[in-house]
Each structure stands twice: as structure tokens, then as C-alpha cells.
Structure 1
Amino acid sequence: MKVDYRKKMLSVLTGLFITGFAFLGCGNGTVPSPEEPGETTTSDVDLYVTTANQSLLFKKIPLSFSTKDNMSPFTIQMNPSEVFQEMDGFGAAMTGSSCYNLLKMTAKDRAKLLKETFDPKDGMGYSYIRISIGASDFSLSEYTYCDNQGIENFALQSEDKNYVIPVLKEILAINPNVKILASPWTCPKWMKVNNLTEKKPFDSWTSGQLNPDYYQDYATYFVKYIQAMKAEGINIASMTIQNEPLNRGNSVSLYMTWQEQRDFIKTALGPAFRKAGINTKIIIFDHNYNYDDIADQKDYPINIYKDADAAQYIDGAGFHAYGGDKAELLDVHNANPEKNLYFTEMSIGEWNYSFAGDLMWNMAEVCIGTINNWTKAVIVWNFMLDKNRGPNRPGGCTTCYGAIDINLDYKTMTKNSHYYTISHLAKVIKPGAKRIGTTGYKVNGLYYAAFLNTDGSYAVVLQNDTNSAMNITLSDGKHSFAYSVPAKAVASYKWNK
């Protein structure tokens, strides 16, 4: 009843603003309506708005600083003296399927889309992408870089050379500072066993476990991969040990407990990286908040961190949101605040998808939600799939959508909710930004996070997940400004001190 009362009061107050009392918190008495930004020709604030009903899709709206003292009770105040994590970036996965679809476009259309997405000045400024080490369930075939037994047979494969690497090079030509996270879905099949007791060969792309007898070879595999990509001009900034290590059922998969990751890192991978002078960050786990409800795998990262010999090589842990709650991020952070957190995958698909519903859920849970629980990066799943949700591998996800879906003419596109939620982050929060504290107005259904960029500018990403517009004022102590954020909408702000 208390929540309903507050929502009712908020609705009443909002109605008062709309009918003429908008002077509260707007300073100069002018609040551009969502559909009619007004006649302002100069803008002190870069403001971008997307609504769940798609009446506004990343609409840029001019907004000026107030010329009067701020008296609004609906003010969010920046507090740059309270500093949290440094941000690395935001983006999507360039799977083999995504790259295949991009290369089916005309060179002109693809260049236009990639510039709109990755250009840090004139585009959305996507700054972090994920790729697979070998095949994923969104590849054109199943493969690793060493399918013939013997680590001396390592070599990059045609799918990478023909699709993934060319697309990465085009992206890096637009934004050389884009970071790349690489994740394997499986080790080479000849390194697999059925279990660690019987250790029988396991000739399958799906499931199996890494034979400890091949720990050194598998560490060399990662070293060779990073070196081979560097020779192509592509720096792997970070890598996870295994995508979804507790998921035996994906079309390309490997089961890997926290005990196995711990032992592999401390006895093989960490020392191999150190010997080879590799600075690629090692990220553990890369799976769901709830550890797939496997009792002895709870607190997967925390258990690994308890081993100092392994922990010394590890930068942090990655998480997905297909099970459990984002509160797990805070628990992991509090247990080991010196280790970083990354959000590495979330997909949309045929399961109950709507643009409006996912825009709101994804922004609250994955974007603002994980950032306010200490993640340094937010990366969603496929950047682009075709209208048939592919290409995909049988046994993997055959119902997923991309951040962008493209028709089979490879020209007509639909930008889905994920494209816009990541854009709202990447456009205003630049790599190296620090999340900062805020004080002031809070109410159910209002979510936000604030940042100080390396150039001294402020950034705020804010979500109104209520059914009424909210007239919100932002203030940094020197400047203040107001905007009536539409119902069910996301607003991103950036301004100089």
C-alpha cells in the first residue's frame, strides 16, 4: 500500500507540472516536452532519449543550463568526491554469425552502420566487444584452432580469417580504442575426457571436461591465440577461461568447475602468460548469478580467489543474467573488492520479447543495475542476426535475436532494444570514466547512475520506469537543468563542468 500511495502522489505531482506548475525544478521555466523539444538553438547538455513506445529513438534534445537558482525538490545532485569503479566500456558480441551477416551487406551500408555504432564522436561510441575463441553456437561450423591432435597444429581458421578478423579490422579503423574480450566455448576435442575419474576420451563438441594432462597444452593454446591475433593487428584486452562453464548442454560447450579453473590458472595459464609477457586480463566464471543452482559451485569466483596462487593472475569475474539476481555481484565485490566485475552476456529472443518490455528490464537489470553493483563493462550477445535468427548451430540457441536483426536482403534492418540500451551507456560514459555518488531525489521506478569522464565532463544515465512523466533536475553544484523524462523512457545526459 505504501508503494501504491507514493506512485499515486507522483502521478498527481507530475500532472501538476504538465498543467502549468513546471516552474518547480526547471529554473528558467522551460521544460521541452518529449515529442516537441522546443526551439532551443544552443545546448549546454547533450541529451538523448528513447521511449518504450518508440515515439523517440535515441532522439537528441537540446537542453540549456538554468539561469535561476534551483529550488526543485526533484533534484539529483552529483557527488564527485564519492568514487566507485572505473568503466572500461559497453558493447555487443561480434560472433561468427554477426560478422557473416555484416559481410553480406554492401561495403557502403556496412561502413555506415559500423560508423554509427562505433565512432566515439559522431556515433554511439560502442567501446567493448566480445568474440569467441573458436566456434560458439553462433558460428558457421564447429571448430577450434587445433582440431588435429598436437599443439604444434595450432592455426587460426577460415571463419576467423574470412569473417571475424575483417570485421574487427573495420571496427578498429573507426575506433582503435575498442577493447576486445575473447571467450572459448570449448577446448579442442582431443583434450576432453568424460569425467576426471575415468578420464576416457570424449569426442564431442558438447559437454566433457578438460583433461588435466593437457593443462600445459591448453595454456599454450591461449598464448598462441593471443599472439596470432596480435599478428593480425588485433589486441585481446581480456579473456574468460570458459563461456558458461556450468552449462553442459550448449551445442559447443565444456564443463569446468571452480576447482578446475583454479587449478588450470595457477598451474598452467597464469605462468604461461607471465612467461610469454602477455598482459591480457584473465576473467573467471562467465556464467549466471545463480551458478545454475549447482550446490557445490556456489560462490564460484570467491572460492577461486581464496587460493592466492591462482588469484594473483586473475583480474576479475564475468557474469550473465539468465538465472539468479544481480545482487550476487555486490556479494562477490564485497568479498573481494580488489577484483573487478564484468557483465559479459545477455540475449533477447522469441521468449516473451517486446521492445518496450526489454528496454525497461534490460536497462534496469543489466545496464544501470549491474553498473550500480560494480561492473566495469556491459556486453550483450549477438550484434547482428538475420531474420531467421541465424546463422546458428543446431543444439544452440535457435530463438535468439540480435541487437540488430537484418532481412535476407542484407539491407533492411531492425534495431532492437539491446542496440539502444548499450547506446545510451556508450554515448555518454567514456572508457576511463569513474562512477560517482549522488544525493537527492529517489522514488520507486526511477533508476540512474552518474559518472565523471576523463575529460572532466559529467554523464548520467537515467530510466523512468513508471507510467507518468517525471520532471527531474540534475545539478553538479555549479550548473542545474531540468527535463521532463517521459513515462517508460531512458535518458542519457552529458555536460561539461
Structure 2
Amino acid sequence: MSASKGVWLFAALLLIAAIGGRGETVPCKVKDVEQGKVCVCTADYCDYLENPTLTDVTEFALVSSSKQGLRFATSSGHFEAGAKYTVQDYVEPVPEAKNETIFSRLLDQALASAFILESRESNITRYVTLKVNRSKTHQTMEGFGGSYTGAVSYLVDNFKQSELADHLYKSFYAEEGLGFNLMRISIGGCDFDLSAWAYAEEEGNTELDGMDELDERDVLRVGHIKRLVEVSAVKNLRIKGAAWSAPPWMKTNNRWTGFGRLKKQYYQTWADYHLKWLKLMQDNGLPIWAISTGNEPLNGIFFMYFVQFMSMGWTPQTQAVWLNDYLGPTIRNSEFKDIVLFGNDDQRYSFPHWFKMMNYTRPNSVDYLDGLSLHWYWDEIFGNSLIDETTAYAPDKLLIVSESCIGDKPWQRAAPVLGSWERAEKYSRAFLQNIQHGFHGWIDWNIILDEEGGPNYVDNTVDAPVIANTTTNEEFYKQPMFYAMGHFSKLVPEGSIRVDALPSNVNLDSVAFLRPDKKIAAVLFNSGRADLDITVVDSERGQFTVNVPAKSIHTLLYS
């Protein structure tokens, strides 16, 4: 069969699948914006990708995204000696003709994402061999997720059609979306709210009266999350809670922010607050998987001149006392004794010193912690050695990134940059780096923000993987960052085990997983400006070569 006939046959098969399948694969509706391309979702249209299925043990599937415009384009081939495939990059569509039909549009979409069995013209092609050794295993993945803040609640509540919200939920948490299973929410308020708030704000309310009923802001959020579970059919949503600040009356400065710590006489009250919140969520149909010892404790100690939002300061010494003498025993002796406890929820520069000082203050206090959670904001400055030292010091702890976004630095635009492939690449590099160094999961920050990067009650605006059009409240835009995260989450379910994936040179960055169904999922990241021939060599399956375009990321799936 000639190469051209092979393309047409493959396109026809894709067309038949699109018409006669379950209807879950819907292509991106591309829109050109300031820095690249986004995918537009409305109440009646949003892109999805049904998870690939493999027909035999030699077949592989490849999901591809690129700077030029591919968004979860799918192709397939077979492991066989000498086999070489080429990923066709995105081609700008021809302006719609008057006699264009549904058939021709589907065929064009199929052709745009098909493999071609011959090399395309390229000025430069580089070469790399990727060796996947499934017998050498590392950490087990807990999953991936995003955060549902007050800002998210506000934006979703303003959508004009409920179907648009459903598309947002399914885009992140459904199998045909990103397949997320983790979520982070604030205990009380955070900066991405319309104002600072907490439960039991009344001065001297040491009995925490009123915490048996949801605050009106949580009524909205809990309702949204329960709808998310319903429409996305997420199988095991794991929610992690974290408090930004205690009510001001519990704090040394009697303020939401600034240099303020928890008063010692309220250590038990603050532990009871967490316990009551866990019960409140459970009673309202939202069981909690994990809580942390508090969001970014150093904000209320060293960074109060820069941080204007809700915060409460801890040192490792004071947090050790609170955890060891109050929070730990309170939780472990309650009906929520099996809740996962995370420590720190702050930047990499505090690792592992924070936990060593905790144990120095209260020997073995860190034993109360099941995991250590990290925010990614200074990873580019503080290297991987701090993480390696932490895993050596506490090898039995879960490691997760619990907050990430772009726009927080003085040298970054503190707002969405629509269509930015560069920001997607930053995510890809960070995911690869942290997973390669032993992290078990990743929770991103807000799943959606407005065009300004809010709402945020102190204008602490940033970027997000999805941006709402608040002019109409009738559409949202999936950023390249959305797809970058999906290349790690979509085909890597909870329980997947990282295995060795070693590229022969720096032209490729990669990580691979052995999934619970015994299939291999490997992420292939070509950040270079040249096309790349990747020869994949599996310790059991054999090999094949695929040529991928410059500035692209792919997820490979095979048995």
C-alpha cells in the first residue's frame, strides 16, 4: 500500500469512529489569540478525547499537542523492527467553502491528526533513543488535580448556561477530559475569594458555635463540587483541605494578614476547628481525603510585607508543638483517624530543614504526617538536591505538589497570557522534574480564572489553565497549559507506577509509568526547535521510531 493510500485509509477509519463511536472524541475548536491558540468551549460544544484503545499487543497509540496547534491529536502504529512514523503537525484550516459538508470537515480533522508513513520536509531533524525498562520501578502515583477556590465558585455561578459549567467539570475530571482525581480547597477563605473569611469569626467563639452548618460561600462551592462528581463520573475524588488563616481573634496581631501567629491558648481550639470542618464536609456529602498543617506558614513570619492576603505564621518549632500535642492526637483519636495529614504546604527552600527542626523540637512529631506538600513557585532557583535530601530524610512520606500557577513573579505578567505555549512548556518541565525526583501527585491552583487572572480580593492575579470570557459568560478558553497537564494525567491513572525511561541525549525529556492495567504510558517532551526522531525501545515489546515536530509533547500508550 502506498503512503498516500495509507493516510486516506487511516483518515477513513477515524471518520467512521467519529460517526459511529461513543461520541466522546470531539476536536478542539481553535481560536487564534495574542500568544498562540486556545480551544473554545461553549454550552453546546467542547473538545474531548476518548481514551485510546489498543487492538493487539504490538499496537501503540500516541496523543500529541504542539505549539503550532495540535491539541490531543491521536494516532496509532505498531512495534516492529524498522517501522517509522511521522506525526503530522497542525495545519491552518482552509477557509470554509460554501459547499463544505460535515463529511469533508470530519475528514479534514482526521487527516490533520493522522500519521504519515514518510518523512515531512524539515530543515533540521535530531535523533534520540528512549529505553523503557518496565522492570525497574519507582514511586506509585496518587494522581493529579486542580483547586476549587471561591474565585472558581464565583465564575461558575455567573455562567449563563449550566451546560457550560458541566463542560468545565468534565474537561478536568471525566475520563474523556484530563482524568483528574485530586482537588484542593481552602478551609475557610483564601486570596482567590471576594473577601477574607473563616468559620467562627465571632470574637471569643472558643466553642466554635455555628460550625455545624455550611457558610453560604461553602454552600455554593459544595454544591458545585457535588455536581462536578455527578457529571464527570470521577471514580475516586480525593479532596485536600488547607487553612490560610484562623479567625483574627485567635491570632497574635488580630488581623487576617501581616506578622501574626496563632495564640498558644488557642492551639487546641484550632485543632478542634479542623476536626469540626472535616465533619461538616462529611455531613454535607463531601468526604475529605487529606488536610495540611496550613497554607504557606512562612508568609506570616518573613513575607508579610509582600503578602497582603490571608495568612498565618508558623515556625517549624511552633508547628511541631501544635502538630504533636494538639492536631495529631485530636485527629488520630477521632472518627477521622485515617485522614491523610500533609506537612508544610510551602516552598522548596524550606525542605528538608523544616521537618528536621520539627523533630528536633518534638522528637518524632513528623511521624504524625503521612505526606509532605510543596508549592512550586521557587523551584527554578532552589534545586532538586533539596528534594533528594527530603526523600532521604523521610523516605516513607507521600510527596505532592499542592499549588502551582504562573504570574506570581515580578518578571512575569501577573495575568493570563492567552495561547502561551511557553507557559505550557514551563508546566511540562516542572511535571517531569518533580515526578522524576519521586513526587506522587500534583494539584494545580485555580481550574479557571477570568481574563484579568482573578477574581482575587487583593489583586494577586495569575494565569490559569482555563480562562472564562466574563464579557458574555457564555464561553471559556482552554489554554496550552491545560493540555500540557493532560499529557501527564489523562493516561496515568491513580496507582500507576513510574518505571525507568532513559533518553540517550538531552533532545528528549521523558517519564514513563506502568499502569494498573499493565499498559505503559510514557510522556515524550520535545522542547527543541527541531523535529525529533525518537526510537522507542521497550524491554519487552521491541522498538519503533516516530518523528515528532519541534515544540511538542506527546503521551505514548502501549501494552
Which of the five TM-score ranges fits, normalised by the shorter chain? 0.7 to 0.9
Match of 2:424 among 359, 365, 377: 359
Letter in 1 for 2:501: T
Q: Which residue of 1 aligns with 2:154?
A: 100
Letter in 1 for 2:142: D
Cα deviation for residue 241 of structure 1 reads 1.1
Percent identity over paired residues: 24
CA contact (8 A) 1:284 1:318 kept: yes
Q: Which residue of 2 aligns with 1:5?
A: none
Query: Aligned equivalents of 1:263 and 1:339: distance in 2?
Result: 20
1:58 pairs with 2:64: no
Q: Which residue of 2 aligns with 1:412?
A: 475
Inter-CA distance 250–376: structure 2 relative to 1 (3 Å threshold): farther
Q: Which residue of 1 aligns with 2:37?
A: none
Inter-CA distance 166–36: structure 2 relative to 1 (3 Å threshold): farther
Q: Which residue of 1 aligns with 2:276?
A: 224
1:487 pairs with 2:554: no
Cα deviation for residue 81 of structure 1 reads 2.0
Query: Aligned equivalents of 2:332 and 2:443: distance in 1?
Result: 27
1:213 pairs with 2:276: no
Structure 2: gaps (5+ residues): 15-53, 86-126, 301-306
CA contact (8 A) 2:375 2:404 kept: yes
Q: 1:128-176 CA distances to partner (integer Å, 9 max, x unpaired)?
A: 11111110000122111111122332423111112x1012101222214
Q: Which residue of 2 aligns with 1:282?
A: 341
Q: Which residue of 1 aligns with 2:63?
A: 48
1:462 pairs with 2:524: yes
Letter in 2 for 1:325: F
CA contact (8 A) 2:82 2:544 kept: no
Inter-CA distance 333–433: structure 2 relative to 1 (3 Å threshold): same
Letter in 2 for 1:152: L
Alignment of 1:380-419 (within 5 A): 380-394=444-458, 397=460, 399-408=461-470, 409-419=472-482
Letter in 2 for 1:392: N
Match of 1:331 among 358, 382, 389: 389
CA contact (8 A) 2:194 2:455 kept: yes
Q: 1:113-142 CA distances to partner (integer Å, 9 max, x unpaired)?
A: 31232112x222112111111100001221
Q: Which residue of 1 aligns with 2:500?
A: 437
Letter in 1 for 2:494: P
CA contact (8 A) 1:151 1:221 kept: no
Alignment of 1:19-418 (within 5 A): 39=11, 41=13, 44-53=59-68, 55-59=69-73, 61-68=74-81, 74-105=128-159, 106-120=161-175, 122-148=176-202, 149-155=205-211, 156-162=214-220, 164-173=221-230, 174-194=233-253, 202-248=254-300, 249-278=307-336, 279-291=338-350, 299-305=353-359, 307-323=362-378, 324-327=381-384, 328-349=386-407, 351-352=412-413, 355-365=420-430, 367-394=431-458, 397=460, 399-408=461-470, 409-418=472-481
Inter-CA distance 444–38: structure 2 relative to 1 (3 Å threshold): farther
Inter-CA distance 386–325: structure 2 relative to 1 (3 Å threshold): same
Query: Aligned equivalents of 2:174 and 2:8: distance in 1?
Result: 28
CA contact (8 A) 2:61 2:77 kept: no
Query: Aligned equivalents of 1:302 and 1:341: distance in 2?
Result: 16
Q: 1:39-58 CA distances to partner (integer Å, 9 max, x unpaired)?
A: 484863332211123x2122
Question: In the comparison of the two structures, how many residue pairs are matched?
Answer: 448
Letter in 1 for 2:293: I
Q: Which residue of 1 aligns with 2:541?
A: 478
CA contact (8 A) 2:84 2:547 kept: no
Structure 2 residue matching 1:492: 3-state secondary structure = strand
Letter in 2 for 1:319: L
Inter-CA distance 64–143: structure 2 relative to 1 (3 Å threshold): same
Letter in 1 for 2:334: A
Structure 2 residue matching 1:79: 3-state secondary structure = strand
Structure 2 residue matching 1:126: 3-state secondary structure = coil
Cα deviation for residue 206 of structure 1 reads 4.1
Letter in 1 for 2:234: N
Structure 2 residue matching 1:438: 3-state secondary structure = strand
Letter in 1 for 2:240: L
Letter in 2 for 1:466: G
Structure 1 residue matching 2:225: 3-state secondary structure = helix
Query: Aligned equivalents of 1:463 and 1:225: distance in 2?
Result: 41
Query: Aligned equivalents of 2:420 and 2:8: distance in 1?
Result: 23
Structure 1: gaps (5+ residues): 1-27, 195-201, 292-296
Inter-CA distance 38–358: structure 2 relative to 1 (3 Å threshold): farther
CA contact (8 A) 2:79 2:541 kept: no
Inter-CA distance 286–445: structure 2 relative to 1 (3 Å threshold): farther
- What TM-score, normalized to structure 1? 0.84
Query: Aligned equivalents of 1:126 and 1:380: distance in 2?
Result: 11
Query: Aligned equivalents of 1:30 and 1:342: distance in 2?
Result: 46
CA contact (8 A) 1:52 1:360 kept: no
Cα deviation for residue 287 of structure 1 reads 1.2
CA contact (8 A) 1:40 1:62 kept: no
Inter-CA distance 235–308: structure 2 relative to 1 (3 Å threshold): farther
Cα deviation for residue 326 of structure 1 reads 4.8
Match of 2:489 among 414, 426, 449: 426
Inter-CA distance 37–161: structure 2 relative to 1 (3 Å threshold): farther
CA contact (8 A) 1:180 1:238 kept: yes
Query: Aligned equivalents of 1:137 and 1:339: distance in 2?
Result: 29
Q: Which residue of 2 aligns with 1:3?
A: none
Query: Aligned equivalents of 2:352 and 2:8: distance in 1?
Result: 51
Q: Which residue of 2 aligns with 1:21?
A: none
Inter-CA distance 238–177: structure 2 relative to 1 (3 Å threshold): same
Letter in 2 for 1:153: D
Cα deviation for residue 389 of structure 1 reads 2.3
